[in-house]
Structure 1
Amino acid sequence: MGKSGAEATAVQTLRDYDAYSANFTDFLRCLLQAAAMRIIGGIAANRLLKAPKGLDVRPTPDLVRQAVFNSLGERVLDARVLELFGGTGALSLECLSRGAADAVCVELSTRHARFIEQNVIDAKLPKEKFHLRVQDVFVAMPQLASAGTTFDLILADPPYGEKNIGKRSESFAQRLLDDTDLPKLLAPGGLFILGHAKRDTLEVPPVWDERKLMKHGDSWMRFLRLA
């Protein structure tokens, strides 16, 4: 039996409220995170990072980054690092601060790229170890793969996807998991760390072996290796 007009309106209202609540929560989280972003550990510890205002960028929260890097430990030392969806460059700069050999950061927005460049300067990290590519992630990956470039650590915390109960995710996180060039970029024994929203139900393809799942509120971080 079909829903009455009143029932259908009520259901749609609840759906709209659910979407509004998720977006408003993201908005508040962005304001709080952008207010006091910093490098957490290493030679540049406590250096503040600048972030664009608004919802265009969603920095990885300090507590989440701290948990990720506590788990990585000495794996960061001398690692070749790739950060996708750079935003503020926080993940790749954290790696350099903790002793990574070098880092490539990919960010499409020229506006965000200017913030990243300033963050490198403010953090007083060696510029020659940091390489910024201002281009689409899904253009950069095949180019890097064609060049035979590999990385020990690949980190990505892309813009969050929508709730996708009952359907396959169309988020950037799912697109990264499905991408055929990304596995070519991971060195033997390397780790791919992927951030996504709790509400974004992902399907992990057989090429990936999930080693750990970190949960912090709505922020989930998956640690993956090649299967």
Structure 2
Amino acid sequence: MAASKQTQQRTLRIIGGQWRGRKLAFPDAEGLRPTPDRVRETLFNWLATDIRDARCLDLFAGSGALGLEALSRGAASCTFVDSARANCRAITEHLTTLECSSANCQTLTAEAFLRHPPPQPFDIVFLDPPFAKNLLTPTCTALESTLWLSPHASIYVESGRREPAPVVPENWRQRRDKQAGEVRYQLFVRDS
């Protein structure tokens, strides 16, 4: 019975851009919950003027739904980071299927990944960690304390509706704040 549980797959659908309607399978792992379609639709409406040619970071990538959606809608590149090998393997397979060479997936914890700043800062960062693990505040602090963010970067933060809001750096201005079901999602813009 356990072996069949490991082989089960779930699907996500890309909802906009060049790969609109494509369905991609990802592992059925405990705690893995892709951002719902209606939340992604709202988020990418918010980012509509910023997504084209953006350098994106999908930290806590999970299924890769946010980064894949960004690439589909014209982002220049995306770095996916997830601590689960199965998740990174699935994302890498999706990138191959979609013939996308402007992205990569790294199997690391967010904390380990953030120890070494990138060669270029990111324009858009997606933060959707496992709920109730208190990962958002330290991650936001780490992003701001090094060279991770471009001067006016957009930072998407997704958390459980009942969780306390993360403490974000003082120079992050909240642009949007919304709830859907058990999810609270916010968009911040960095003031350099």
TM bracket, shorter-chain basis: 0.7 to 0.9
Matching residue within 132, 146, 149 for 1:186: 149
After superposition, the Cα gap between the structure-2 partners of 1:176 and 1:103, relative to the gap in structure 1 and judged at 3 Å, is same
Q: Under a length normalisation based on structure 1, what TM-score does the superposition of the two structures give?
A: 0.74
Distance 1:189 1:106 in 2: 22
Other-structure match for 2:177: 213
Other-structure match for 1:9: none
Matching residue within 134, 137, 140 for 1:174: 137
Which secondary structure does the structure 1 equivalent of 2:108 belong to? coil
Distance 2:17 2:142 in 1: 32
Tell whether the 8 Å contact from 2:110 to 2:139 is kept in structure 1 after alignment: no
After superposition, the Cα gap between the structure-2 partners of 1:180 and 1:192, relative to the gap in structure 1 and judged at 3 Å, is closer
RMSD, aligned α-carbons: 1.9
**Larger helix share, 1 or 2:** 1
Please say if 1:132 is aligned against 2:105.
Answer: yes
Distance 1:96 1:182 in 2: 27
Distance 2:145 2:66 in 1: 18
Which secondary structure does the structure 1 equivalent of 2:115 belong to? helix
Residue type of the partner of 2:35? T
Aligned-residue offset at 1:101 = 0.7
CA offsets 1:42-73 (integer angstroms, 9 cap, x no match): 11011112121142412111111111001111
Other-structure match for 1:78: 53
Aligned-residue offset at 1:91 = 0.9
Stretches of structure 2 that go unaligned for 5 or more consecutive residues are 1-8
Please say if 1:112 is aligned against 2:75.
Answer: no
- Which structure has the bigger radius of gyration? 1
Other-structure match for 1:198: 161
After superposition, the Cα gap between the structure-2 partners of 1:125 and 1:70, relative to the gap in structure 1 and judged at 3 Å, is farther
Residue type of the partner of 1:209? R
Stretches of structure 1 that go unaligned for 5 or more consecutive residues are 1-33, 162-169
Aligned-pair identity in percent equals: 29
Other-structure match for 2:5: none
Other-structure match for 2:35: 60
Which secondary structure does the structure 2 equivalent of 1:152 belong to? strand
Aligned-residue offset at 1:86 = 0.7
Distance 2:146 2:17 in 1: 29
Aligned-residue offset at 1:177 = 2.6
Q: Under a length normalisation based on structure 2, what TM-score does the superposition of the two structures give?
A: 0.86
Other-structure match for 1:222: 186
Other-structure match for 2:71: 96
Residue type of the partner of 1:174? T
After superposition, the Cα gap between the structure-2 partners of 1:184 and 1:207, relative to the gap in structure 1 and judged at 3 Å, is farther
Q: Tell me how many residue pairs correspond in the alignment.
A: 182
**Larger strand share, 1 or 2:** 2
Distance 1:198 1:77 in 2: 30
